[in-house]
């Protein structure tokens, strides 16, 4: 694993706080998720339930997000990712699958504050009105012109992930959207 460099050592304090998270372990898993034997084998290593389409499920430190009909994103602690990857390779055995450690390829940000929905809505073409996007939903989309995914942890906290190569751009645009004085008060 490489030494990751943080783009934002100090969180940005606007009307929503934007902070870069400590490195977390991320695995990309591709395979036939509609196959029951595949999912059974998967569950030997993954403690959570399988997420439904466009959902994310959590169990302790582990989260599993639905990326596409044949792709999952497994989030875990940074130091446990190698063990989990080995475990997945063992339990999936000779089935057709792909597992890759993408911990260092991506970066995650946490937004916290009462108006996290509003800050995300400024950047992504997603209906974030309360009742339309609930905690537990997982959405891949774009933020400005870069691809990203996000989910709500609670009504006042959200997590955004994107490629590390565009982390600085993401931090800057999230900070701009969260700037004090930029409140729209759309849903308050």
Partner 1 sequence: MLILNCPYCGVDAEETELSPGGEAHLKRYGPGSSDADFEDYLFQRENPKGVHFERWRHANGCGKWFHAARCTMTLEVFGTYEAQSLEPPKSIQKAISKKRPGWSWREFS
Q: Applying CB under 8 A, which of residues 139, 151, 166, 173 lies at the interface with partner 1?
A: 139
Q: Is 140 in the site for partner 1 (CB under 8 A)?
A: yes
Supply the minimum distance, in Å, between the C-beta of residue 54 and partner 1. 6
CA atoms of 132 and 181, how far apart (whole Å) = 26
Give the footprint of partner 1 on residues 106-125 (CB under 8 A).
125
In the bound state with partner 1, the residue whose beta carbon lies nearer, of 62 and 162, is 162
Give the footprint of partner 1 on residues 56-95 (CB under 8 A).
67-69, 71
Site string for partner 1, 9-48 (x = CB under 8 A): ----------------------------------------
Q: Applying CB under 8 A, which of residues 17, 38, 50, 54 lies at the interface with partner 1?
A: 54
Tokens of 7: 């783009």
Q: Applying CB under 8 A, which of residues 61, 147, 184, 186 lies at the interface with partner 1?
A: 147
Q: Is 141 in the site for partner 1 (CB under 8 A)?
A: yes
Query: Could you list the residues that contact partner 1 (CB under 8 A)?
Result: 53-54, 67-69, 71, 125, 139-142, 147
């Amino acid at each position: 694993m490489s030494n990751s460099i943080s783009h934002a050592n100090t969180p940005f304090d606007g009307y929503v706080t934007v902070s870069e998270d400590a490195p977390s372990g991320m695995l990309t898993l591709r395979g036939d998720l509609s196959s029951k034997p595949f999912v059974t084998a998967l569950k030997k290593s993954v403690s959570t339930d399988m997420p439904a389409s466009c959902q994310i499920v959590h169990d302790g430190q582990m989260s599993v997000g639905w990326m596409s009909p044949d792709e999952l994103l497994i989030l875990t602690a940074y130091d446990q990712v190698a063990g989990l990857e080995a475990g997945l390779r063992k339990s999936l055995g000779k089935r057709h699958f792909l597992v890759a450690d993408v911990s260092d390829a991506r970066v995650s940000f946490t937004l916290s504050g009462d108006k996290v929905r509003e800050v995300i809505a400024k950047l992504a073409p997603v209906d974030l009105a309360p009742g339309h996007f609930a905690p537990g939903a997982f959405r891949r989309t774009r933020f400005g012109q870069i691809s990203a995914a996000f989910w709500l942890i609670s009504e006042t906290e959200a997590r955004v992930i994107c490629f590390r190569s565009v982390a600085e751009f993401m931090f800057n645009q999230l900070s701009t959207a969260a700037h004090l004085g930029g409140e729209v008060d759309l849903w308050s």
